[in-house]
Structure 1
Amino acid sequence: MWRRCVGSRTYPLNVEDRNHDRRIPGLLNETCAAEILPLTADTSTIRTAITKMKAIGNTYIPGGLIWGWRMLSLGAPFAEGKPYDVKNQNPRKIIVLLTDGANTLKPNFPYHSANNDVSASNGYVTEICNNVKAADIEVFTVAFDVTDPGIKGILQGRATSAGHYFDAGNERALEDAFNQMAASFLDRRIAR
């Protein structure tokens, strides 16, 4: 099993959940983020993984977003996802897309390079969110301490509804956003 950094598949596989048999390119000599934690109900394991996360370097939102979708999928490289329910109720599938800034990297497949022209990256955020929602997965978006109005507009426009978008300007607002999301998850469970 590859335990290093991974890059992006070329378009359109970088914005779709299909062709799971096609390998995702591995990258050498790159600084990697924390390893992805497969889906689990073990809250202790989740909390430990969260404390290991560190925000460093540049931002490439499509990379995190596509991996969030892969986590919910039945396809490789993860096996914890459950079959899709047409009504997205059993299981209810949700992605929470949180960023602390605008895209600063553009794709140079399989790598991502720093560049002022991030229009392709912003377009991929839109396309992935549209594809995720077409698969009946809810999308919550959170702009945490983000000052760039362009990425705020993208996040707001890509959320499942107006109530699925949060503009959290500080830690307290971020905590409130997660409390509101958690309450909406609980409301749906009680209604069943």
Structure 2
Amino acid sequence: MNIRKAAKEDASGIAKVQVRSWQETYQGLVSKDYLDSLKMEDRKPLWERSLSESGDTSPVFVAVNPDGEIVGFASFGKERSGEFKAESELYAIYILKKYQRDKLGLKLLKAGLDELIKKKYDSMLVWVLKENDSRKFYESLQPEKAGEEAVEIAGREYIEVAYIWKDLKMLYHTIVEKRLADR
């Protein structure tokens, strides 16, 4: 599996992964009608714009399988709310279900941390739905819980949990030395 920085030409692949991941991950959590309404064609222009305008300030990394298909991505940037003592934010990691549990999340996170550390960021925040089992991935990396917030998706209220890592170099070390070293 190849991990690389995304380019504008990757917008379709990223949009496809985002929509399919939502449909796979949130099945049974979010209404079927809402999940069925998600379309790659709606997300593609947003990713084209994002990759064109903010590639340096908000890097996106993709996981590409041997057939050249994007099967996962991670998006990073400056912490958006200003409410937490975090300089950067992991906006999203999405991986197609077939490729989960293969350390792709860790590899994408490592690529983003490389970039954030080079840009002199020391801390990072991530938001995750409390009911999403994928939050255990983040919890396994021992963040501090920073808060909770209600969000509405398809007319239903959900709780999002904010986690923060105050030392990105330590997180990087944990990923590289302990988690990725376990083969």
Is the TM value for this pair above 0.5?
A: no
Report which of the two has the higher share of strand: 2
State the TM-score, normalizing by the size of structure 1: 0.35
**What is the TM-score of this pair, normalised by structure 2?**
0.36
Higher relative contact order at CA 8 Å, sep ≥6: structure 1 or structure 2? Answer: 2
